[in-house]
Amino acid sequence: MNYAEMLEKVATASGFIAALDQSGGSTPKALRGYGVEEDAYTNEEEMFALIHDMRTRIITAPSFSGDKVLGAILFERTMDGDAGGKTVPTALQDRGVVPFLKVDKGLEDEADGVQLMKPIAGLDQLLQRAKAKGVFGTKKRSVINQASPSGIAAIVKQQFEVAEQILANGLMPIIEPEVNIKSADRAQSDLILRDEILKALNNVSGDHKVMLKLSIPAEAGTFDGLINHPRVLRVVALSGGYARPEACAELAKNKGMIASFSRALLEDLRHHMTADEFDAALASAIDEIYAASAT
């Protein structure tokens, strides 16, 4: 797929985006969920080799195809690895799945109720390397813990500034200001965030569009204005700690919003499964998330 074909698919096709981008800090938890305890590896390289094996198994499973999976978000090491004898972005494209790359370097400590992104050193070089490998877009995450108008405004400002840098490099940015679904004033945060994003969308350069990855709102329909905005290519939802059945039920209440789940996609997969067992569990998760995204 070339960029125009990937753009068309992400904009119009039914399906969801798989998040396979656990980084160094979240990898041990992801491996434990897969049934691999920390005593199975002795250093970071062995840990990343194990998580890459898991991701390769997912990407090459029969059920993981572009029929229901629109895209997959990759960790940088995964982008640079191989799957089934091909580079991972090529392996995904050959299955009709659009590759994205996580580009943030983690979060700053909380201040003013939010966690901004850490500076992203060498971003232009990373973006050009990703583009050369056939990556379509990027994802970068911030976190909102309290309904702080000034904190949320700072998050949106930072996200859109980095989005402009990504657009200038010819890639599609996914802007992810996650609202902590456990926060007491979550619904108020949703409203403040929506209004800040609406203002920022009016200043996106040229005729560019961006994507948004948002927590499923506390009140269904809160993000309708974003879903229908002419500068938004697609709005995707993170599972935010919900188990898959609840995440899917909440997502289905928000027409036009599709999933971009990580743990909720992977929660039934175990390393000891046979190939058939693994693919059956993955297919069941894909079907459930696809159905919730198609409502």
Report the DSSP beta bridge partners of residue 144: 114, 179
- Treating both helix axes as pointing N-terminal to C-terminal, what angle do 186-201 and 149-168 enclose, rounded to 10 degrees? 40
CA–CA distance, 286 with 63 (Å, rounded to integer)? 8
CA distance 271 to 278: 8
166: Cα separation from own chain's centroid: 16
Question: Which is the catalytic residue, given 176, 178, 196, 288?
Answer: 176
Q: Name the token pair of 236.
A: 């995707």
Q: Indicate the SS3 state at residue 96.
A: coil
Residue 209 scores a pLDDT above 70: yes
Instruction: Kindly list the distances between the CA atom of residue 145 and the CA atoms of 65, 170, 176, 179, 185, in Å, as whole numbers in the listed order.
Output: 35, 32, 14, 6, 9
118 assigned to active site? no
Both structure tokens of 157: 């400002």
Report the pLDDT averaged over residues 147-160.
98
Q: In 3D, which of 161, 153, 166 has the Cα closest to residue 112?
A: 153
pLDDT at 65 over 90: yes
Q: Is 176 a catalytic residue?
A: yes
Q: What pTM, to 2 d.p., does this model score?
A: 0.95
User: How do strand 258-259 and strand 232-238 relate by DSSP bridges?
Assistant: parallel
| Angstrom distance (rounded) from CA 158 to CA 180 | 18
Lowest mean pLDDT segment, chosen from 10-24, 110-124, 211-225, 280-294 = 10-24
Q: Return the closest-CA partner of residue 267 out of 289, 290, 252.
A: 289
Whether residue 168 is predicted with pLDDT greater than 80 in this model: the reply is yes
Output the average pLDDT for the chain.
96
For the residues 113-135, what does the mean pLDDT come to? Answer: 97
**pLDDT score, position 24:** 63
What is d(CA 202, CA 157) in angstroms, rounded to the nearest whole number?
A: 13
User: DSSP H helical segments within the chain, as ranges?
Assistant: 3-12, 27-33, 44-59, 76-79, 88-94, 123-132, 149-168, 186-201, 224-227, 244-251, 263-266, 275-293
Model pLDDT for residues 216-246, shown as the tens digit of each residue? 999 999 999 999 999 999 999 999 889 999 9
Q: pLDDT digits over 6-51, tens only?
A: 999 999 999 999 999 877 677 888 899 999 999 999 998 999 999 9
pLDDT digits (tens, 9 = 90+) for 69-102: 999 999 999 999 999 899 999 999 999 999 999 9
pLDDT recorded at residue 12: 96
Q: Which of 68, 139, 213, 288 is catalytic?
A: 213
Contacts of residue 127, Cβ cutoff 8 Å, sequence gap at least 6:
103, 138, 165, 166, 169, 170, 171
